Each structure stands twice: as structure tokens, then as C-alpha cells.
Structure 1
Amino acid sequence: MPGRVPVTLAEPAARPSGGKDGRDDENQEEIPLGRNRQFLLMWAGSGAAVLAERFSAAPFTFVVIYEGYAKGLAGLVAFAALLPQLLVQLPAGVLVDRWDRRRVMIVADLVRLAGIGSVALALVLGHVWLWHLAVVAFVQGTFTVFYTLSERGAVRFVVPRKQLPSALARNEARARAAALGGHPAGGALYELTRWAPFACSAALYLFSLISILLLRGPMPPPPHPAGKTRRSPWAEVREGLAWVWRERDLRIALVLVAVSNMIFQGIILALQFIAKDTGRSPVSVSLILAAGGVGGLLGALAGGRWIQRAGMERIMVVTYLVWALVLPGMALTRDAWLLGGLFALMSGIGASVTVAGTVHQMRVTPDRLQGRVGSVVFLMVSGFSAFGALGAGYLLQEAGTRTAMLVFSAVMAGLAAVAALVFGPRAGRRRSRGRHLAGGRHSR
């Protein structure tokens, strides 16, 4: 029987047309991104929304930690913030493929503005309710999923296809820059007064809302084929899952990234407890996280070039090898400068991989499946992070920070071994032989 030629991580499939209205834009005049009003509005508004999330991310757990609650409860609040990435990704992907992307972004900003504002108001009045923190963290995470998927689909409406890698690299750099500024600012504002980071987050969501409202025109989903009945949402979810499942290398890569992101959530939580246990203030841990933002910013800017010079297989092997070598150093030191430097290195490589993987995924995915496949990818790479935060909270409580970090190091070493086996040179030669044989069968 004729075999199917696999689409590997290194060889993108044919890409759909990428014009603003679905047409081929190869011959359209390209406006530089720096002078593209639509792109700049979306970039600034979405950047404000990301910064708002960063301002409040660490303070959610700061409220729990510095009020003297158990470490497990801090992990529980972090779990609530990350859980939407597991529960909401797939249905959100289907709905984003059906709804106007700009409208979804507007609604998401409105809901997040109201939720984070309620936390600021409660703290101003002197109230700390763990259930309130957990609910708002969950709501913010839910609508951030909708916003992120919508923005990814909306980028195609404001830039030509040729500029897509540059636009996505700038978006990732923006997110990393927001982490760079947001983490220390959130810690400093919390030290000033515990409601300040949440009030500033509300103001940033308001700015994001105004920016998205100023965008011109609708950003509708791809048109439904004439004469065809729209299928159930679950059938559309299955289509996105099936597409990803058929890509063997992609699904293995997603599993590796999912587990490593769980480890990163544990590292971030551990850094907060290391700071507290060594007598440092919230600003100290925020500066360590900001160092990760510096590395992430530089890595994001380099990610677009990396994917052009190296295949995704090589990128995966290098990434996990470096992470496996760096993480034991973080487990064995309590020096804030060294922790910040190592975390910056890990974050920089992670950002480069994110840009490279996003460009690859958007290139190989049909336009009608962008939302659904994007939601599957986000589900895998981010959704399971919630369990990383929850499990790390209890591991830190029962075993201590150093033992927990050594456990994270051991797991990362295992991931590096898997990456080398699946994406290393020998595996690449086997894939090349397989493609050759499949091509020979097709030629008969």
C-alpha cells in the first residue's frame, strides 16, 4: 500500500495563503512592521495585557506566602491560575475558529479588568480570601487563553505572510520584555502595598481594551464551506487533535515541552521559597524572575533566525541538553546572582524554542485549523503546567527546596536523553531513509 510521507519538524508542509482576507499576498506591498498602525496597536494592546498578567502573577502567591499560609496553599492558588490552560484550550480553539477574533479580545479584556479590579478592591478594604484569589486567578487564566488564541489568529489580518516570522518574534520578545519589567515591578508594588500590583494590572487591562477597540475592521474566522453543515464542537476538537496526532515528531516534541514546562513552574515556585527562607524580600525573587525575562527577551529575538538556520530536530536536542546541564547548578546554589544568571540562560533558550516552534506550527497548519491546532499545542505545552505548580507546592513542602530542585534536575536529564534518541543525528538518518522509501513507493 502507498505510504504517507511524514511531515517532520524540519520539513514544513505546504502553507496556506496568508493575506488579510484569505488571498495570496505574495505580491502585496509590504509596510514595515514599525510603521504598520494595525500591527502596532495590536502589539501595544496585547503587550499591556501580558504586562498586566505579569504584574499580578507573582503577587497572587505573595499574598499567600507572606500572610503565613502553608506552601501547599500557595501551590493551590498557582494551580488555579494555570488550570484553564488545561481545561479551556480545546473548546476555546473551536470557538475562536468560529468567532470574530477582535471581539473575543475585547470581551477577554473586559472580564479580566473586572476580576483583577475586585482583588485590588478587596485588599484595599483589608480582606484576604483564598477562594477569591483562586477564583479570580482561574478567571484571568481562562480569558487569557481566549485572548492569546484570538491574537494568534488576528496577526494574519494585520501583516503579510512574509512578515509572519518577524511579527511572531516581536510578539514573543514583547511577552519576554513584559516578564522582564512585570516581575520586579509586581514585587516592588507589593512591598509598597499589597493591593498596588492588582490595581496597576487593572489599569493595563484598560489600556489594552482601548488599543483593541481602535483596531480597524472585523477579524472574522475563515468562511464556512458553502453547502456543508457545521459539525459539533467536539467533532471539530477531534479534527484538531487528529491532525496533531498524525505528526509523530510534533506530538513527541509537545510531550517533552509539556513536562519541561511543569518543571519550570516548580522552579519558579521554588525560587520564591528560596528567597523567603533566606530572608529576602519579594523584590529579590522578582529580580531573579526578571533575569529570566532578560534572557527570554534576547532568546525571543534570536528565535526567528535560529529556525531559519537549524531544523527543529537540532533545536530540540540542544535545548534539552543545555537545560539538563544548567538545572543542577540551580539546585546546589543559594546565591541570588548565580540563580538569576542560570534562570536567564534557561529562559533565553526556552524563548528561542517557543518562537521557532510557533513559526513552524503556523506554517504547516491549514488556515481553517489554526485555532484548533493552536489550542492543542497550547494545551500540551502550557495546560499541564498547572499540575507542575500543584505538585511542586507539595514536593517543596514535604521534601524542601534543595531536594525538590534535584528531583527537577533528574527529570530534565531524562527528557534530554529522550530528545537525543528521538531527534538526534541517528534518528534523523532513519527519518531520511523512511522518506526516501515512502517517496519510492509513491513514484511507482
Structure 2
Amino acid sequence: MRVQVMRSRRERGAVALTAGLLMIPVLVIAAFGVDFGNAYTQGQAFAAGADSGALAITQRAQSMMTQSPSTYPNCAAVVNADPGFTNAKALALSAVNANAPFSRQLPASAVNATMTCQGASLVADVTVQANVGTSIGGMVGVSSIAANRAAQAVIDLGGRSKCGLCIIGPGSHDLQNGSVTVNQAGVSVNGTVVANPQGEITIVTTGTDVISFQGSTPNKGTYVPTPLENQPPIADPLAGLLLPPASVSTLAVKTNPCTDGPGIYLNSIDASDPCIMSTGLYVFAGQFDLKNRTVRANGVTMYFTCKTTTSPITIRPCSSGGEDGGNMQQAGNGDFIFSAPTTGDTAGLALVADRNNTATSSYRGSATGQSTGTIYLKSGTLDFRGTAGTTSLDSLVITGNMTFSGQAPVIITYTESKNVPIPATNNRLTR
């Protein structure tokens, strides 16, 4: 027999009261959950703003060095140009407020930014101090929750190349009996090096400059200091350099670089004697043969590129797979003195080629030469032949290949201020 038990009204009231009391902490916890969730969401928005601000600062540094390399040659120059980090803080504040939630705008005092140099790298730190109000926390004395965030960006500003002679092509490079002496910089060679017994590569400065080979050291020749072997291949130090130079678009087609001045030279040309080249940019789509002439080119950049094969004949980029374009030849017993411009979009550039130009530029015979400014032939070859006189280069030399035939001596002294600065690369967030 089932006995029905009737709960009293008092018992039912007690259960309801207990349930109500239990709901209070649940609701409080839920409210705090909403508060913390809101603070987290706003904090993430401030974090995105801090990231954007840090990257904006490093990108600005990159633009400064790219657009005005002579004014901002290194990290220290960029940092010193912003005393108190006024511009950096303004960039950071703008980025933070652009990402702020609910159209919230933080005051300048809530966002801080600093810049420091670590070697050739610029480090930008951005901090955000912001509080998010609570909806129920005030009932227990918590009126706001901190949503502070921080970000750090780093960019490698370059400025100076680690190698004064950088042979970046992947193939075999034939030193034979050639002699290369490098001052104030290292030597880096991708691919492999072959040499005869009298071949030599010497670094005469002391310190951290090294000879670095991707392959092994040849069993013939002399190398001082002892090379580092089996090293990772060196990347192109000037991969970020804008080519062709912007000022190419302002040039007219001309016929004689020794008399006509800066311009575009479509055909192969023999230099007159003497050949005095006026200051400026010269674009060659054929061979510029110095022969045994006396050539003086102060404040000059020579740019070697390719040209169309059908009418109208104009300059064009060399084919992406590689193509022989303009080049320079020096032979006989002539001599040349080149120096790069010190201002403008080609400041520090003496000889430069389209990155896909595979042509060979040669120094032959007993000619002597001097050059100041960067020599950049990414896919090309620098060839020294015969018993050439001493070639002295105050240059950063970057070439796809370097070859010798005979006992031609080359002396390279890399003075950073006389060459194009290495463009900034690898802009990234580190925190």
C-alpha cells in the first residue's frame, strides 16, 4: 500500500529560500565572468594595437633609411632623430586607438613607446596601460580590471655588410693565381672555390672579420685567416635595394657617355680618350668598352640592363631566368677612376646591374683602376685577366661570380660611409 506524504508549506518555502540563496553566488560569479570576459576582449584589442604600433615604428625606421640613406645610415642615426621618442609614441598611440574596442580612445599618457639599438637591429617596445570598468565588481570593491598589454618589434636595419667581398652565386668560383686582399670587412663565398697554388685571399684587418666558405677550403692557395668551412649560404645583402633606380625614368637616350653626360645608352660603345664622364646616372644596354683609355667618372653610377630586340629599341628588365645585358670591359694599359654619387637615389652606388643580368664585366691586360662606391652584380661575373695592374676598390663588392686568369691583384677596402647602406630587412614581432 502506497502512503502519500504531503510536504508542508513551511518546507516548500525553505527549499525556495535555499535555492534563492544559492543562486546569489552563482549570479555573482557569472557577473564576474562577464566582467573578466569583457576585460579580456578589450585587452586583446589593445594587444593588437600595441603590435601594430611597434611594427609601425620599425617600418618608419625602414622608410627613413631607404629614402634618406646618407642621413640615416644606421640604427643610432634613426634613434637619435627622435629624441624623447615623440614620433614613436605618436605612431603607437594612433595604432592603439585605431584598434581600441567600442571606439574607445586612450589618452597619450596611457601609451608609451621606446626605441633601442641591439647591434644593427632596432627594437621598438610599446606598452598600453588601460583599465576596463566592471558591471558588478563595484559591489565587492572591484571597480575596474587592468587590461595592460605590451608588444615588441625588431627590424634588422643593416647599415653595414658583414662581407666586403660577397660572392653570392651557387656555382664554382675560379681564383686561379689571383690575389684578393680585403680591408675592414670579411669575405663570404657561396658555392665552391677552386684555386692554383699562388691564389690567395687575405683579410688584413683584425677583429671579427672572417673568410666564410659554403664549401670546403681549396687544397691549393693561401687563405688568411683560416676560413670557416661548410657555412650556410649568405643571402644577398642588397636584396631590399630598389632597382632600377627611380631616376632612370628621367633620362633621355644618348650616344656618347664621354661627351653627352648622363643618359640611356642602347648600343655598345668604345670610350674616347680621354673619357670624362659628368656626374649622374648612366644606363647601358650594350657593352661599354674602356679599351686602353683614360677614364674619369666622379659622382657617377653606371647601371647595366637589357633592351628590346625589335623596334622601337628601348631598355627593359633582363629576363627572370637570366640574360646577358649591358656590361663594362677594361683592357690594354689604360686606367680608370670611378666614384659613386654622395646624394640622390643612387648615392653610394658605382656599378650596378639588373638582378637578372648575367653578363661578365672584365678587367684585362695591364690596366690599373680605382673605384669608390658599391659594385653590385647579383647574377653577373667580375673577371680579372692577364697581368692586370692593381685594381683598388673602396667598395662593397657583391657579385654572382668572380674569376681570375693570371695574377691580377685586387685590393678591396670597404668604407661604410662611401657605399650604399644595407637596406632594412626581417621586420617581425618578438613579443
Q: For the superposition of Structure 1 and Structure 2, which TM-score range results when normalised by the shorter chain?
A: under 0.3
Decide which structure has greater strand share.
Answer: 2
- TM-score, length of structure 1 as denominator length: 0.21
- TM-score, length of structure 2 as denominator length: 0.21
Asked which structure has the greater RCO (Cα within 8 Å, sep 6+), the reply is 1
Q: Bigger radius of gyration, 1 or 2?
A: 2
